[in-house]
Amino acid sequence: MKTTASPKAPLPVPSNDHLTERSRRARTEPMSVLPLGDGLYEVESASDHTYLIDLESGRCTCPDHVFRKARCKHIRRVAIEITEGRTPPPGEIAADCHDCDETMFVDENADAPFYCADHEIFPSDTVVDRETGDRLTVVDVSELRADAVEIGAADTTVAEYATNENYDPDVPVVGAIYPHARVARNGVVPSSLKVYVFPRTRLEREVRAE
């Protein structure tokens, strides 16, 4: 960087051409953007320089920003990648769906498991129990964790329940019923309408045939 500019020389005035050039380079130069969380991004340039960008305060550690106060090509590149959905916005991180390899952006403080639109479940959805292959209908998706919910009179939590030991204890619980309630002569058998509680990861949304 040249810091010994002659006082007689006119200072370069940023022209529209300069601004256009920054935009163009922001878009076309090879750069890799790495989201670090807390609104910070690391950008590695084609020349192997690494700069730190704080997007919300609009700061970058590159000379163009530090010395010329420019909205440099790195800040622009991060903004472009966010707009195009290639990198998560401040406050979000990239995460994979638990049941497929789709990547999505989720709140950076949220807890796994995460599910894509195809695998997220809601009340009335049909799910398959991975242990038994049984189909069930979702009644409720809780915020409570499997290691915090006790099963009826049994002195055990959903997470500790024997057939749930292969599933993470710190996932939400889901209440579900078997879809075909039993009907006796005098009507529906109430016990067949019992809501069973499962760790979320034990259930998989039924794949619908196209």
Binding site for Zn ion (CB under 5 A): 60, 62, 65, 72, 74, 97, 99-100, 102, 116, 119
Nearest in space to 36 (alpha carbons), one of 56, 21, 54: 54
Shortest reach from residue 12's CB to Zn ion, in Å: 18
Indicate the residue among 52 and 148 with the shorter CB distance to Zn ion: 52
Shortest reach from residue 155's CB to Zn ion, in Å: 36
Count of other CB atoms within 10 angstroms of residue 113: 17
Indicate the residue among 43 and 176 with the shorter CB distance to Zn ion: 43
Shortest reach from residue 129's CB to Zn ion, in Å: 18
Indicate the residue among 78 and 136 with the shorter CB distance to Zn ion: 78
Q: What pairs with residue 176 in β-bridges?
A: 138, 196
Shortest reach from residue 50's CB to Zn ion, in Å: 11
Indicate the residue among 116 and 151 with the shorter CB distance to Zn ion: 116
Is the Cα dihedral 163, 168, 170, 175 positive or negative?
negative
Is the Cα dihedral 168, 170, 172, 178 positive or negative?
positive
DSSP H helices in the chain = 16-28, 63-68, 73-83
